[in-house]
């Protein structure tokens, strides 16, 4: 059945159709214009300025299901050329999310010893060309099975080496490197890989430069009530195990959270640590 425009959209150029899977990507990229209405996202305020329209185009391009439409596509190519979007020096959000990972976010780290891709976006040629221009990919780190998307295509194109935990191997059978156990591994002085089983059995996060935590689906931000959260309803393996993992993660220090789903946040390290300890306590109460 052909998708139809959702009634919740306000009238104007941009709208969301019934292909929406409520993945949240558009609400992260253009939060002033896309909102959650029932089980979908909708355009609840039309973009007016050039900057606002650019943000809406970023959302349209990153939507994993093509659910965002507009009659005016003249700026689409310019908006496409913005990706990957710079978040902070040397760290990019890739956009072009995949339906295979339910719109999961992926990130690119530029590093003098070789760039890293964290989880996989859609294999989209204009994005691939931009990544080539930024130096390509040496390592493709996969946090867990849900967010591998087109990792095999990126690995093949860039001759990148995939890193994934051995317990997630069935999602990426040809991966070049398999992590084992639950002890943190310094792959490089800047790259600490920390197994965090719970959401899935071999889920692993990346702590980069003791500052940036790429958390996959293990840890996220809840904008209401502005606290760290652990997606208890989407825990596929063991929430008790996820709680124990989170207790270990609370021994680490970081100030940026770059999750697989939801908002990217930055706060002083001490505040992040306090927020993580509050989450650990809530998780312990849930599991006891």
Binders of ligand SF4 among 73-112, rule CB under 6 A?
A: 103
Alpha carbon distances (Å) from 189 to 135, 180, 198, 214, 225: 20, 19, 26, 16, 35
Binding flag, residue 24, ligand SF4 (CB under 6 A): yes
How many Cβ atoms from other residues are within 10 Å of residue 48's Cβ?
10
Question: Quick one: 9 or 245, whose CB is closer to ligand SF4?
Answer: 9
CB closer to ligand SF4 out of 68 and 164: 68
What separation in angstroms does the CA of 226 have from each of 57, 68, 278? 27, 28, 12
- Among residues 34 and 256, whose Cβ is nearest to ligand SF4? 34
What is the nearest approach in angstroms of ligand SF4 to the Cβ of residue 287?
30
Min dist. Cβ of residue 144 to ligand SF4 (A): 20
Q: Is 28 in the site for ligand SF4 (CB under 6 A)?
A: no
How would you classify the pairing of strands 256-259 and 212-216? parallel
Nearer to ligand SF4, 20 or 151 (CB): 20
Dihedrals φ, ψ of 197, to 5°?
Answer: -60, 150
Cβ proximity to ligand SF4: between 107 and 139 the closer is: 107
Of all helices (H) and strands (E), which one includes residue 179?
A: strand 177-179
| Residues within window 161-190 making contact with ligand SF4, judged by CB under 6 A | none
Task: Tell me the number of residues near ligand SF4 by CB under 6 A.
Answer: 15
Under the binding rule (CB under 6 A), the answer on residue 68 touching ligand SF4 is yes
The answer to the question of residue 22 lying near ligand SF4 (CB under 6 A) is yes
Report the distance separating Cα 44 and Cα 28, nearest Å.
Answer: 14
Verify binding: residue 23, ligand SF4, rule CB under 6 A. Answer: yes
Cα 142 to the chain's mean position, in Å?
11
Mask: binding to ligand SF4, 31-50, rule CB under 6 A, as x and -?
----------x---------
CA atoms of 136 and 108, how far apart (whole Å): 10
Q: Shortest CA distance to 61 belongs to which of 36, 97, 113, 20?
A: 97
- Phi and psi at 83, nearest 5°, equal -85, 145
Closest distance of CB 72 from ligand SF4, Å: 18
The only residue of 8, 21, 201, 266 in contact with ligand SF4, by rule CB under 6 A: 21
CB 16, min distance to ligand SF4, A = 5
C-alpha radius of gyration, the chain, whole number: 19
Nearest to 94 by CA among 19, 52, 154, 27: 154
Query: Looking at 43, 63, 175, 194, which residue binds ligand SF4 (CB under 6 A)?
Result: 63
Q: Where does this chain bind ligand SF4 (CB under 6 A)? A: 16, 20-26, 41, 63-65, 67-68, 103
């Amino acid at each position: 059945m052909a998708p139809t425009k959702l009634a919740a959209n306000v009238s104007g150029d941009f709208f969301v159709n019934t292909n929406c899977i409520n993945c949240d990507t558009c609400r992260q990229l253009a939060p002033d214009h896309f909102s959650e209405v029932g089980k979908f996202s909708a355009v609840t305020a039309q973009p007016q300025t050039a900057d606002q329209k650019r943000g809406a185009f970023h959302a349209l391009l990153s939507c994993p299901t093509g659910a965002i439409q507009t009659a005016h596509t003249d700026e689409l190519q310019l908006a496409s050329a913005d990706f990957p979007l710079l978040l902070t020096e040397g760290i990019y959000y890739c956009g072009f999310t995949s339906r295979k990972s339910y719109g999961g976010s992926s990130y690119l780290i530029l590093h003098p010893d070789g760039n890293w891709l964290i989880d996989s976006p859609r294999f989209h040629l204009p994005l691939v060309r931009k990544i080539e221009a930024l130096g390509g990919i040496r390592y493709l780190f996969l946090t867990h099975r849900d967010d591998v998307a087109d990792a095999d295509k990126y690995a093949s194109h860039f001759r990148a080496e995939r890193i994934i935990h051995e317990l997630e191997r069935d999602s990426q059978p040809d991966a070049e490197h398999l992590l084992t156990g639950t002890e943190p591994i310094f792959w490089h002085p800047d790259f600490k890989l920390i197994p965090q089983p719970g959401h899935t059995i071999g889920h692993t996060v990346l702590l980069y430069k003791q500052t940036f935590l790429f958390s996959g689906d293990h840890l996220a931000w809840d904008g209401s009530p502005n606290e760290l959260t652990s997606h208890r309803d989407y825990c596929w393996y063991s929430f008790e195990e996820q709680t124990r993992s989170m207790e270990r993660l609370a021994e680490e220090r970081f100030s940026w959270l770059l999750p697989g789903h939801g908002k990217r946040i930055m706060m002083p390290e001490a505040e992040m640590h306090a927020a993580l300890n509050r989450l650990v306590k809530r998780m312990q109460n849930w599991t006891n």
